[in-house]
Structure 1
Amino acid sequence: MTRVLLVPGRSPAGPAHWMTLWAEAHPDYVWVRRRTTPDTDLEARVLALDAALAADPSPAVLVATSMGCLTVASWAAAHTGPVAAALLTVPPDVPITLTPLPFRAIVVGSRDDEHMTFARAREFAAVLGAEFVDAGAVGHLNTASGHGPWPLGERLLAQLLAG
């Protein structure tokens, strides 16, 4: 069975955030390094993701948002593990070295994200070798931009889980 690992952004996902709602609806989804305070330690985040992947040899689909996308990209550049695919939502425009991902990935970009322009989000996807999905004008896809439930994300995750 394919497992789902949730790789949160820098700030804690509050109770109405789509990731929190997904975790509540699916108790088998596993959080990777979920903190209650802002978490910008990329190295520690990558190590936590590596440990979560190493804890179970089953294939995993990674669901990452914001800084979680950088965590996944950084992990994939230096590690291997049982990753089947990744859903990377609204990555921030932070300078890190990117390399193509060795697994299927979908990058979701927003036309009005305050943390990365739409054009840069498309470039991020292209460098990673990922499919790009235009989510429209959804801000940073968080509760501040009006997102609790996120049906498009659920459909994209279902596609990745189906292979």
Structure 2
Amino acid sequence: MKIADTDILLVPGYGQTLPGHWILRWENKMPTARIVRQAELHTPSKKAWLEKLVEDVEAAKRPVVLVAHSLGCVLVAHGAHALKDKVLGAYLVAPSDWDREGLVAEFDGGDFKPVPQDPLPFRSHLVASRNDPYCDFARAEAFAKAWGATFQDAGNAGHINLESGHGLWPEGMMSFAGFMKKLG
């Protein structure tokens, strides 16, 4: 599947996505990509976030491929069955484990807990880091297995965000291109 034949919806996670983060750069590099812009970044509500994601998926003109980071991965898992008719696949990066107590001091995971364990109804690929402070590697592997996602070990890459040195993240772009090729 070619990127130009799809609408790429980029689904950020909890908090403000800093300028230079790979997800913002990918929006600029791919002409059919756009960010799902949530209203409440520091006090997210699963209901409100899911409504916005469904709205953006429904507004798409082409088949949709989701690219999610952190809490965005968990959102995709929560909404997968509501999205299945238009979503071809999901590329999931560094999911955060909101079932873990004290993950973020300012937010306890709210109604995003528990993290869904049901298979996703579309193809998916999960990229995880061995030293992600927001999700243990074994837990990320378990998410991939539960969701029916192929799994990629990103090595010691932190949370695969700007703070861990992943601005453009060319390895991710190459991996995403491989995932797109498998979609069709």
**TM-score by structure 1 length?**
0.92
Residues 26-74 of structure 1, C-alpha deviation per residue, up to 9 Å, x if partnerless?
2431111245842522221111111111113521110000000011101
Three-state SS of the structure 1 residue aligned to 2:126 is strand
Counterpart in 1 of 2:23? 19
Equivalent runs, 1:1-163 vs 2, <5 Å: 1-34=5-38, 37-94=41-98, 95-162=114-181, 163=183
Structure 2, unaligned runs of 5 or more = 99-113
- Assess, with a 3 A threshold, how the Cα gap between structure 1 residues 156 and 93 changes in structure 2: closer, same or farther: same
Three-state SS of the structure 2 residue aligned to 1:58 is coil
Q: Is the 8 A contact 1:85 1:104 kept in 2?
A: yes
CA separation in 2, counterparts of 1:26 and 1:9? 20
User: How many residues in Structure 1 have an aligned counterpart in Structure 2?
Assistant: 163
Runs of 4+ aligned residues of structure 1 deviating over 6 Å after TM superposition are none
CA separation in 1, counterparts of 2:165 and 2:40? 21
Q: Is the 8 A contact 2:120 2:147 kept in 1?
A: yes
- Look at both structures and tell me which one has the larger radius of gyration over its CA atoms: 2
Q: Which moved more, 1:33-42 or 1:109-118?
A: 33-42
Q: Percent identity?
A: 40
**TM-score by structure 2 length?**
0.82
Structure 1, unaligned runs of 5 or more = none
